[in-house]
Amino acid sequence: MLGSNPNDCADSSTQVPDLSCRLCGKEGHANTTCTYQYYVPKGEQVGLGATLICTCCKKEGCHPGTNDWVGIAVPNYCMICGKRYAHRTEDCPRKQGMEMVGDQAACVGV
C-alpha cells in the first residue's frame, strides 16, 4: 500500500527498523515492499542493487531531453555467477573468457 506522499518509498505499515532496501537505497523496508519496483519518481536515484529501466522501451536510464518517460527499479542479477543485487551480467568479474549463449553463460576459446 502506498503512503499518501508519492515520493515515499514505503508507508509506515511496511517500515522495519535496521532494514535497507537495495532497490531504492532507503532504510526501513525490504526490497519486496519497495514501490520503486513499480515507479521511480522523477529525479530520484535507485539503490546500488538496482538499475533504472524505462517502462516503455525497457532500456537503462531515461530519455535525455524529455520528461515524459516512466522508470522502474529492476534488481541487478548476474546470469554468470547467479548473484542478485551485487552486479549485472555485463559487469561480472568472472565474465572474461565467457559469453552469453541465449540466457546461459558459456566458456569460449576452450
Task: Give Cα separations from 102 to 15, 59, 99, 106 (angstroms).
Answer: 39, 19, 10, 10
Do both 31 and 47 map to the same domain?
yes
pLDDT score, position 63: 72
Do both 91 and 47 map to the same domain?
no
Instruction: Using the structure block, give the residue that is written with the C-alpha cell 503512503.
Output: 3
Checking if the pLDDT of 99 tops 70, the result is no
Q: What is the pTM of this model?
A: 0.64
Residues 16 and 70 in one domain: yes
pLDDT in tens, 59-69: 887 677 777 78
Q: Do 21 and 54 sit in the same domain of this protein?
A: yes
Residues 88 and 69 in one domain: no
Stretch 17-28: mean pLDDT = 87
Residues 69 and 48 in one domain: yes
Domain span at residue 66 reads 1-75
Give the number of domains in the chain: 2
pLDDT of residue 52: 92
Same domain, 49 and 13: yes
